[in-house]
Chain A
Amino acid sequence: MKLDIVITGVGGQGAVLASRVIAQTAMAKGYQVRTSETIGMAQREGPVISHVRIGDDLTGALIPDRGADILLSFELAETARGLSKLKPEGTIIANTAQIFPVSVPLGISSYQTETILAALQRPQGKTILLDASRAALEAGNAKTVNVVLLGVLAGMSGLPFTAEDLLASILKQVPEKVREVNRKAFEIGQRLAEVS
Chain B
Amino acid sequence: MEQKMLLMGNEAIARGAVEAGIKFAAAYPGTPSSEVFSTLAHFAPECDFYAEWSVNEKVALEVASGAAYAGARAIVSMKQVGLNVASDPLMSLAYIGVKGGLVIVVADDPGPHSSQTEQDTRKFATFAKLPVFDPATPQEAKDMVKAAFELSEQFSLPVFLRPTTRTCHACQDVTLDEIKPMQREYRFDKDPKWVIFPSLSYKKHIWLNEQQLNIAAAFNRSPFNKLSLKGKVGIVACGVAYNYVVEACETLGLDPSMLKIGTPYPLPPEPAVALLEHCERILVVEEQEPVVEDQMIKLAWQRKLPTDIQGKGLIPREGELNVDKVKAVLAKFFAVPDSTVLDSTVSSVAIPPLPLRTPVLCAGCPHRASFLAFKEVGRKQDAVFTGDIGCYTLGNMPPLDMLDTCLCMGAGITQAAGMSKVEPGRKHVAFIGDSTFFHSGISGMINAVYNNADIVIVVLDNRTTAMTGHQPHPGIDRTATGVNPKVLDIAAIARASGVELVLEVDPYDLAATKAAAQQALEFTGPAVVVARRECIAIVKPQPQYNVDRELCIDCEICLKKLGCPAMFKQDDKVIIANSCNGCSLCAQVCPQHAIRGGEVR
Contact = CB atoms under 8 A, between A and B. Distances in A.
Interface stretch (B16-24, B240-248, B408-416, B446-454): B240-248
Contacts of B169: 36-39
Interface string B549-585: 0000000100110011101110000000010000000
B362 interface: yes
Contacts of B425: none
- Tell me if B's interface is mostly helix, strand, loop or mixed: loop
B276 to A, nearest CB: 25
A106 B4 CA distance: 49
A65 B137 CA distance: 20
Contacts of B327: 64
A44 B31 CA distance: 14
Interface string A30-64: 00111111111111111100000000000111101
A103 interface: yes
A145 interface: no
Nearest to B365: A44
Interface stretch (B153-161, B263-271, B306-314, B353-361): B353-361
A36 B350 CA distance: 25
A35 B352 contact: no
A32 B355 CA distance: 36
B195 interface: no
Contact of B171 (A11, A34, A116, A118): A34
Contacts of B344: 66
Contact of B563 (A42, A106, A116, A119): A106
A12 B82 CA distance: 27
A195 interface: no
Interface stretch (B47-55, B125-133, B391-399, B588-596): B391-399
Contacts of B567: 102, 105
B240 to A, nearest CB: 7
B352 A118 contact: yes
Interface residues of B, number: 60
Contacts of A157: none
Interface in A57-91: 59-62, 64-67, 77-78, 80-81, 83-84, 86, 88
- Size range of the interface on A? 35 or more
Nearest to B344: A66
B493 interface: no
Give the one of B173, B354, B560, B568 with max A CB within 10 A.
B354
A156 B398 CA distance: 42
A45 B563 contact: no
B302 interface: no
Given A41-B31, A101-B358, A33 B352 contact: no
Contacts of B240: 60
Give the one of B169, B170, B353, B357 with max A CB within 10 A.
B357
A47 B357 contact: yes
A106 B565 CA distance: 11
B467 A60 contact: no
A196 interface: no
B353 A110 contact: yes
Contact of A60 (B247, B351, B356, B360): B247
B323 interface: yes
Interface string B248-270: 00010000000000000000000
A105 B362 contact: no
B354 A77 contact: yes
23 contacts: A10-B357, A19-B171, A39-B32, A40-B32, A40-B468, A41-B114, A41-B467, A47-B357, A60-B137, A60-B240, A60-B246, A64-B324, A64-B327, A64-B340, A66-B340, A66-B349, A80-B352, A101-B355, A101-B565, A106-B399, A106-B560, A110-B355, A111-B355
Given A34-B172, A102-B397, A103-B355, 16 more contacts: A33-B173, A39-B32, A40-B467, A59-B246, A60-B243, A60-B247, A62-B322, A62-B323, A64-B322, A64-B327, A80-B352, A88-B347, A101-B565, A108-B398, A112-B352, A116-B354
Interface of B: 4, 6, 31-32, 113-114, 136-137, 166, 169-173, 240, 242-244, 246-247, 251, 322-324, 327, 340, 343-344, 347, 349-362, 391, 394, 397-399, 467-468, 556, 559-560, 563-565, 567-569, 578
